[in-house]
Amino acid sequence: MSDLTYARLVENLAKLRMNNILPRLDAILSESAKDELNFVQFLDRLVSEEFAARRHKGVTMGIKIAHFPAVKTLEEFDFKFQPSVDARLIRELATGRFVANAENVLIFGPPGVGKSHLAIALGRAVIEAGHAVQFITATALLAALARAESDGKLDERLTALCKGKLLIVDELGYLPFEKRSAHLFFQLVAKRYEKCSLLITSNKLPAHWGEVFGDDVLAAAILDRLMHHSHSVTIKGESYRLKLKRKAGLLGDAQGAP
């Protein structure tokens, strides 16, 4: 290849914004020569590298935008520890198909059993599947909605919260909602209904959501929309950390525990 051709190739790759492979061009050329690739194989290698790098950057950016409170992955989740969790269902959810179909996911269970872990891990998997995700705790969500309402910007805020294809609301039910907050949450659920997905974790089963929202009728209306197209994961058993401590002999047995 003449210097002129090489210079034109570099210039045109830059114009095409193939910026990820540009610094690797020399290496790709010599590797391809060494591997005796034909034209199609070489082009495939070049384009695949650019795509892989873009995808990696997209996932990293998506994880940043999601604002996860911690790094948790499905690989780290010990399914044997929590046999009440259907590993097959979780792996199916991790494909992101439920987001493409605007379905919801509800994860119930007592404290410490891995609800947030699964929510974050599924969120990451959904980003890897190519969808935008936002993570927020129920408390922060309601504070943001209440603030937006008092600033006269509720619609704007609701629209912003519906930008991501998946909104993860963690820890619903730990604190009961005030009446106004319950109505704001209803508006969010109604806005997303059948358009984009919600993943909600809660320590309270649906039968107790009347207490959470301080209103049985409103709770029923919220649950009706949430559960219409949804997958539920109910985790039973005790806290993962307590169980680990018990195993290590740091606590008494379940009966002796406070």
Residue 6 contact among Mg ion, ligand ADP, none, beta carbon within 5 to 8 Å by kind = none
Contacts of 166 (CB under 8 A, 6+ apart): 99, 123, 126, 131, 132, 133, 134, 196, 197, 198, 199
Residue 78 contact among Mg ion, ligand ADP, none, beta carbon within 5 to 8 Å by kind = ligand ADP
Q: How far apart are CA 246 and CA 52, in angstroms?
A: 44
State the Rg of the chain over Cα. Answer: 24
- Shortest distance (Å) from residue 66 CB to ligand ADP: 16
What's phi and psi for 169, nearest 5 deg?
Answer: -110, 110
Q: Which residue is nearest to ligand ADP (CB)?
A: 114
Residue 109 interacts with ligand ADP (CB under 6 A): yes or no: yes
- x-or-dash string of contact with ligand ADP, 182-221, rule CB under 6 A: ----------------------------------------
- Shortest distance (Å) from residue 192 CB to ligand ADP: 22
Strand partners, 232: 106
Give the Cβ contact number of residue 18 at 10 Å. Answer: 18
- x-or-dash string of contact with ligand ADP, 10-29, rule CB under 6 A: --------------------
* 33 versus 87: smaller Cβ distance to ligand ADP: 87
Residue 112 interacts with ligand ADP (CB under 6 A): yes or no: yes
* Residues of this chain that bind Mg ion (CB under 5 A): 115-116
For residue 179, what are the CA distances in angstroms to 3, 146, 160, 174, 185? 73, 11, 23, 16, 10
* 78 versus 194: smaller Cβ distance to ligand ADP: 78
Residues from 113 through 132 that contact ligand ADP (CB under 6 A): 113-117
Q: How far apart are CA 80 and CA 41, in angstroms?
A: 43
Q: How far apart are CA 71 and CA 82, in angstroms?
A: 20
For residue 167, what are the CA distances in angstroms to 6, 52, 195? 47, 26, 12
Name residue, tokens 């907050």.
181
User: Residues touching ligand ADP: how many (CB under 6 A)?
Assistant: 16
* 97 versus 241: smaller Cβ distance to ligand ADP: 241
Which member of 241, 252, 254, 257 binds ligand ADP (CB under 6 A)?
241
Residues from 28 through 87 that contact ligand ADP (CB under 6 A): 72, 76-78, 81-82
* 116 versus 197: smaller Cβ distance to Mg ion: 116
Q: Considering only 15-23, 95-103, 111-119, 155-163, which stretch makes contact with ligand ADP by CB under 6 A?
A: 111-119
Q: Is 135 exposed, middle or buried (0-12, 13-18, 19+ CB in 10 A)?
A: buried
Q: How far apart are CA 227 and CA 233, in angstroms?
A: 12
Name the residues that contact ligand ADP, by CB under 6 A: 72, 76-78, 81-82, 109, 111-117, 240-241
